[in-house]
Structure 1
Amino acid sequence: MIKVLASAFLITFGFFFLQGRAGFSLADEGFLWYGVQRVLNGEVPIRDFMSYDPGRYYWSAWYALLSGDHGIMGVRMAAAIFQAIGMFVALILIVRSTDPESRYKTVFWGLSALILILWMLPRHKVFDISLSIMLVGGLAYMIANPVPRRCLLAGIGVGLVAVFGRNHGVYGAAASLAILLWMMIGASFQDVVLKRFVPWGVGVVIGFLPTFVMAMVLPGFAAAFWNSILMLFEQKATNLPLPIPWPWDASFQTGSFKDVFRDILIGVFFLSLPLFGLASIVWVTRQVKKNQPVQPALVAAAFLTLPYAHYAFSRADVSHLAQGIFPFLIGALILVSSLSGKKRLYLGGILLIASLMITLSQHPGWFCRKADRCVDVDVSGSTLRVPSGEASNIALIRSITADHAAGGKSFIVTPLWPGAYALMERKSPVWEIYALFPKSEAFEQAEIERIIASDPGYALILDVALDGQDALRFRNTHPLMHRYIQENFELVEVSPNPALQLYVSKDATP
């Protein structure tokens, strides 16, 4: 186990060494960084600012306090430590599912580690990726010997995962309940309910206690948490959907051979999630009916693949595929590990090549390998290699803040660059730092009241049609706020890019 742990940390931080300072995003990564920064300033996720669930912010803040690094590299390092734990769990599941006497096992484990690390993207989402892996590990632990103590611990794991991401808690609960039903094959209903389901349910409550405690002791958190759930129903979606890139929809007529082949591979992986999920559940069910042994980790991966397919399909791009693929990857690697030595290496090699073709271009270190693509930029005291376009955006934010919001004055950047606040170490005057979905008039009016109270020096609006949909422009999703900014701020030219609309406070304009 020590060797696997060392290997997990070595490959994770080897990748971190290669590309830990490459890339930066004012959008998604900025969303995480801003939240960590606000927690360090005493604010509460969800209640005081739009955020993911609290766990990842307190984890990152804990590392920042221990290390003294409150900047972007501190956030990245905290995420990398969490990623290494996830990598360890994935590797230990694969190692323990492999015959220790089999040939080439060490080479296969190395291939597996490379495949896993390639799919761990984007960087700011390794929390979500590691949570999915931890669920596989926790449920496999329960399946291997479903005594009450293990069921209790598995439930605690599901509840604790939900503290970091409620969607992961839902996925873990759905898979757990399906597994408990699966366990009824050949077992008495009473034993499954009393000795497995009840301890598991108690464990879920125990694991979710941090959120319960926050709701009880932090004024306003319970209401904010409940409202954040209601917003999902109002939006009628967990994400902005994209067309599913099925393999037969590849750009055969217009793309190069390399692009078409990559499109086909992406489609194959998307198609593999539901197919593997369904087929593996049928197979492990048949095995248990025949009293045949089956790897506990394979059972856990089988029942988690379909819930996580929902994550991948919610916004069907490579990034979300990567965040939902790990139960499938672990299950597939366990199946491959059961083959004879050379077959195992051949299939592992094919999976590695396919993974390289799909994911390599998504890694910031690979993108910035060409000198003309990225430039050095100082971000929170660290020198990062940043794509030229993002470097220009950073320079723009710094310039207009110096001109119109100097001395710590507030400003607004909406809807897509929450990292602007973290970059300038300012508090957002509005709660919704990532304004993607339409909101009610009451919500918009509350945001306007916050703007009035904060008296911002400027408002920078990114007038973009997300996914090519004009309805998703800020002026259409937030018409009251947009009109308020137009009526109370002066539009000035700031960039030849018409999407960047700068409104300066009328009190500050000559």
Structure 2
Amino acid sequence: MLASVVVIALFVWQGNKGFSLWDEGFLWYGAQRVTLGEVPIRDFMAYDPGRYYWVAAVMELCGSNGIMAMRIALAIFQAIGLFVGLLLIARALKKQSLVYLLLSTLILTAWMFPRYKLFDVSLSIFLVGALTYLVEKPVGRRYFLAGMCVGLAAVFGRNHGVYGVTGSLGVIAWLTINRSESYSPVSGLLAWSAGVITGYCPILLMLIFVPGFAAAFLEDIRYLFEIRTTNIPLPVQWPWRVHFTSLPTSDAVREILIGTFFIGLLIFGAVSLLWVVRQRMLNRPVSPTLVAASFLVLPYAHFAYSRADISHLAQGIFPMLVGIMVALSRQAAQIKWPLAAVICAASIWVMIAFQPGWECRDGKCVGVEISHSMLQTAPGTARDIALLRTLADKYAAHGRSFIAAPYWPGAYALLERKSPVWEIYPLQRRSGTFEQDEIKRIEAANPGFALIDEMPLDGVDALRFSNTHPLIYQYILNNFVPLPGSPNPYYHISKANSQAQ
């Protein structure tokens, strides 16, 4: 009940606030295409399929493929994740305390960001819950169910599958230390493996029965090995690197806290892991939830550090948050309450500035109609939306396709158009063969205009679209006519040659 009330309150406050043509648009476009029968990864660049089918199912129930229907789908997943997190903390309490649960609620809710990544947030909590369930009573059925949860997590994101496997193997190894349980860990590992396969069945069935999916899926994995990274990296903003003289005090404090949380991931991950292993070796009792969280903190720290910004920190921090709140719940009052209050205050201080509702306070946002709903967005986003609609009305009327690259996959969802290319979010360099295939798709789609944002991602010139996709960029230069009056020096806007006057 508490989780549902909090999520509903949050949705009322900021459900119609903010909009991103970038990552949120990436998810929205994919969900729209799934409702039209397309297949993620095969038909368009995508995350793993689970999240799209979840959103598409809720969209069907809502009778809409709009942005608010997608946000409802995300809020439902968020409520389930928050419920599991609070349940784990509540069960670890020696004596039930509403105040402690409210503090925990504030901490967990503050970090549930960004909105379009709530699948990833909740999945990390689900994995803590699954491994807790196994540690509490390591019998065959629980090994199987824990494995099934890992497999299901991978349906929504293969990185969660990798982290879940890593954490599971750690827990299973932990259970072999001074083993008192009658169930054999070898038998448990086999049951767990069967569970993983069962949970991952949706993808396995797609690989077998959906034409073209297997080839696209394997190519997607091959490409990750080719670029040797899962994200475009960013350096960690260590606390000692904060420039106090160039930042307002509140922002400087926030940067210090963010860096401290990054450090905390590594320290808590290592210390908690060593502590639960030592407790097991000494045959001392330890909270099953703390064991589960301890074996997941460092795997998820990898995700946080893979692109060390606030978004990835928020997606990777939940095993640590749950573990800390469980660990503190067992401490004396003079330790528990001050530390819990400090973590709560630090979490709110860090995260409140990034919440859409806070960003739109005091009339800082403007109203924009998006998919028949009135949203409050940043003025810059509103201008970009107006620009896209003007260009579409003039050069891509009657459902004609267009190109918006590399940062605006949401443009296609906004205007309900099919992207002319497979790679709807082209941030990384691709091979010449891949680019030639994309050019063939562009020729077949006959887009009416192209808007190329040449802003260098992260300030890195090599990440400009003209450098990551030089063949496509040159094709656009050769086959489209530049339009004057671009509102942004980075926006290179042109219309199809067929429309030349």
Under a length normalisation based on structure 2, what TM-score does the superposition of the two structures give?
A: 0.98
- Secondary structure of residue in 1 paired with 2:495: strand
Indicate conservation of the 8 Å contact 2:140/2:183, yes or no.
no
Q: Do structure 1's residue 205 and structure 2's residue 197 form an aligned pair?
A: yes
Question: In 2, distance between residues paired with 1:212 and 1:362?
Answer: 38
Deviation at 1:61, TM superposition (A): 0.7
Which residue pairs with 1:393 in the alignment? 384
d(CA) in 1 for partners of 2:432, 2:229: 19
Does residue 99 (structure 1) correspond to residue 133 (structure 2)? The answer is no
* CA displacement at 1:191 relative to structure 2: 5.3
Tell me if the contact between 2:176 and 2:185 (Cα under 8 Å) persists in the aligned partners.
no
2:413 pairs, out of 413, 422, 425, with: 422
| 2:437 alignment partner in structure 1 | 446
Q: Tell me the equivalent position of 1:77.
A: 72
Counterpart Cα distance in 2 of 1:233 and 1:207: 25
Contact 1:493 1:501 (8 Å CA) reproduced: no
1:57 is matched with: 52
Say which is worse superposed, 484-493 or 88-97, in terms of deviation: 484-493
* Equivalent residue, structure 1, for 2:300: 308
Do residues 67 (structure 1) and 59 (structure 2) align? no
Q: Give the secondary-structure state (helix, strand or coil) at the position aligned to 1:183.
A: helix
Q: CA deviation at 1:288?
A: 0.6
Question: Aligned equivalents of 1:406 and 1:294: distance in 2?
Answer: 64
Q: In structure 2, what is the Cα distance between the partners aligned to 1:343 and 1:275?
A: 19
Q: Report the Cα offset of residue 255 of structure 1.
A: 2.4
Q: Distance in 1 between matches of 2:331 and 2:395?
A: 65
* Amino acid of the structure 2 residue aligned with 1:330: V
Deviations 1:329-353 (A, max 9, x none): 0001111111234542322211111
1:251 equivalent to 2:251? Answer no
Structure-2 residue corresponding to 1:404? 395
SS for the counterpart of 1:498 is coil
Equivalent residue for 2:32? Answer: 37
Could you report, residue by residue, the CA deviation over 1:31-59 in whole angstroms, capped at 9, with x for unpaired residues? 00000000011000000000110001000
How far the C-alpha of 1:189 sits from its partner, in A, is: 12
Kindly state the Cα deviation for residue 165 of structure 1 after the two structures are TM-superposed: 0.3
Show the counterpart of 1:48. 43
Instruction: Select 1:144's aligned residue among 136, 144, 148.
Output: 136
Map 1:174-185 → 2, pairs under 5 A: 174-185=166-177
- How far the C-alpha of 1:253 sits from its partner, in A, is 3.5
Q: Which residue of 2 aligns with 1:413?
A: 404
Matched, 1:22 2:17: yes
Cα deviation for residue 181 of structure 1 reads 1.2
**Could you tell me how far apart the structure 2 residues matched to 1:493 and 1:273 are?**
50
Any idea what SS the aligned residue of 1:507 has?
Answer: helix
Q: Verify: 1:273 aligned to 2:265, yes or no.
A: yes
Is 2:371 aligned against 1:376? no
Q: Is the 8 A contact 2:138 2:181 kept in 1?
A: no
Structure 1 CA distance for aligned equivalents of residues 352 and 181 of structure 2:
48
Match of 1:3 in 2: none
Distance in 2 between the 1:139 and 1:171 partners?
A: 12
Deviations 1:60-85 (A, max 9, x none): 11111112122000000000000100
SS of equivalent to 2:21: coil
Aligned counterparts of 1:60 and 1:256: Cα–Cα separation in 2 = 40
Instruction: Name the % identity.
Output: 52
How far is the alpha carbon of 1:179 from its aligned partner? 1.2
Within the alignment, does 1:7 sit opposite 2:9 as a pair? no
Query: Alpha-carbon deviation of 1:370?
Result: 1.8
- C-alpha contact (below 8 Å) 2:175/2:185 kept by paired residues: no
The answer as to whether partners of 2:149 and 2:199 remain within 8 angstroms in 1 is: yes
Q: Could you tell me which of 321, 343, 351 is aligned with 1:329? A: 321
Matches within 5 A, 1:351-366: 351-366=343-358
The amino acid that maps onto 1:457 is G
Among residues 81, 84, 88, which one is paired with 1:86 in the alignment?
Answer: 81
Please give the alpha-carbon distance, in whole angstroms, between the structure 1 residues aligned to 2:342 and 2:402: 50
User: Is the 2:104–2:325 contact (alpha carbons within 8 Å) kept by the matching residues of 1?
Assistant: yes
TM-superposition CA deviations, 1:100-121 (whole Å, max 9, x none) = 26xxx11010010011111000
Change beyond 3 A, Cα 1:98–1:190: closer
Q: Contact 1:183 / 1:192 at 8 angstroms: preserved in 2?
A: no
Is contact 1:180-1:192 (8 Å) kept?
Answer: no
Distance in 2 separating the partners of 1:48 and 1:17: 35
Whether the 8 Å CA contact 1:98–1:338 is kept in 2: the answer is yes
Match of 1:489 in 2: 480
Partner in structure 2 of residue 160 of structure 1: 152
- In 1, Cα distance between equivalents of 2:182 and 2:76: 42
Q: Tell me whether 255-264 or 219-228 shows the greater mean CA deviation.
A: 255-264
Separation in 1 of the partners of 2:248 and 2:415? Answer: 42
* 1:307-365 deviation digits (Å, cap 9, x = unpaired): 00011001111111000000000001111111234542322211111011110010000
Q: How far 1:494 moved relative to its partner?
A: 4.0
Q: Which runs of 5+ in 2 are unaligned?
A: none
Letter in 1 for 2:25: G
Rounded to whole Å, the distance in 2 between the matches of 1:341 and 1:380 is: 51
Distance 1:464 1:177 in 2: 43
Alignment-derived partner of residue 120 in structure 2? 128
User: How far apart, CA to CA, are the structure 2 residues paired with 1:390 and 1:192?
Assistant: 57
Q: TM-score, normalised by structure 1?
A: 0.97
Aligned length: 501
Comparing 227-236 and 322-331, the one that deviates more: 227-236
